Amino acid sequence: MSKPRIGVTCSPLRGPAYYLPYLRAIEATGGEPVTLDPQPGGLASTQATSMIAGIDGLLVPGGWDVDPPAYGEDRQEETPDVDPPLDLTEIALVRAAVDANVPVFGICRGQQVINVALGGSLRQHIDGHDNHGHPRDLLAHAIDVVPGSELSKVTPGDRVMVNSLHHQSVKDVAPGLHVTAHSPDGVVEGIESADGMIVAVQCHPEELLSQQGWAMALFRGFVGRVADHNHNGAVATDAGKEGS
């Protein structure tokens, strides 16, 4: 039986090594990762629709900042590293996935891309959340998780510790999405759609798989939703069982 095919947008500017933890997390939870290349001018909606038709789920991973013109703002000095072809490609893919009812999972930049793609905006700089220079699995701050969210279904209780490798965050939440987690200083750390087909977090669960059971469960939940909703005939079998 075929495994659910999970598209992962991978920018050549970051290089393949950056994306390995995401690809491994998908494999570890029963999915088949499929890397998707950004296109220089972005994607026309018909191109995005046809790329989405070839996958069963979309993972939008971490990376550089979204170029602020994508949400109607000028780029400030505090937003130095952008990758507009990746932005345009991911924004088109997120919209096409939503239109096709294909599950979407966003991590860090991915959460920010999803919010922008659906009409939200970002804060271009926040203090206290960028722990680059420390191990990527450093548990840096708590988040308070909204009961009933997909995120809350995998966390042990409503407060968990997370890693934090970002200096931007969601500002205005896009229509159709709601906040599912905050840090104590008020930063948006999770967003979802009401039907749970879009789930995103600001932390990096792909770096926490071996130390936090909820991080693995978050991936397993996503791959499970993909298998449940897939439009290409893949079937959920033993997705994510330890030792498989």
Interface residues with Mn ion (CB under 5 A) are 129, 164
DSSP secondary structure letter of residue 36 = E
Active site includes 10?
no
Active-site residue identified among 108, 189, 203, 207? 108
Is-contact 165 62, C-beta < 8 A? yes
Active-site residue identified among 90, 129, 166, 204? 204
Nearer to Mn ion by Cβ, of 34 and 108: the residue is 108
Task: Give the phi and the psi of residue 15 in degrees, each rounded to 5.
Answer: 80, 155
Amino acid at residue number 11: S
Tokens matching residue 137:
């699995």
Tokens matching residue 87:
């932005």
Nearer to Mn ion by Cβ, of 129 and 220: the residue is 129
Nearer to Mn ion by Cβ, of 166 and 220: the residue is 166
CA–CA distance from 7 to each of 48, 55, 77, 97 (Å)? 12, 6, 32, 11
CB of 125 to Mn ion, least distance (A): 13
CB of 42 to Mn ion, least distance (A): 28
In the bound complex, which residue of the shown chain has the CB atom lying closest to Mn ion? Answer: 164
Active-site residue identified among 150, 192, 206, 207? 206
C-alpha span between 29 and 48 (Å, rounded) = 26
Amino acid at residue number 67: D
Active site includes 108?
yes
CA–CA distance from 50 to each of 47, 54, 99, 100, 114 (Å)? 5, 7, 12, 10, 19
| Closest of 191, 194, 131, 200 to residue 163, by C-alpha | 131
CB of 105 to Mn ion, least distance (A): 18
Nearer to Mn ion by Cβ, of 69 and 128: the residue is 128
CB of 215 to Mn ion, least distance (A): 15
Catalytic residues: 108, 204, 206
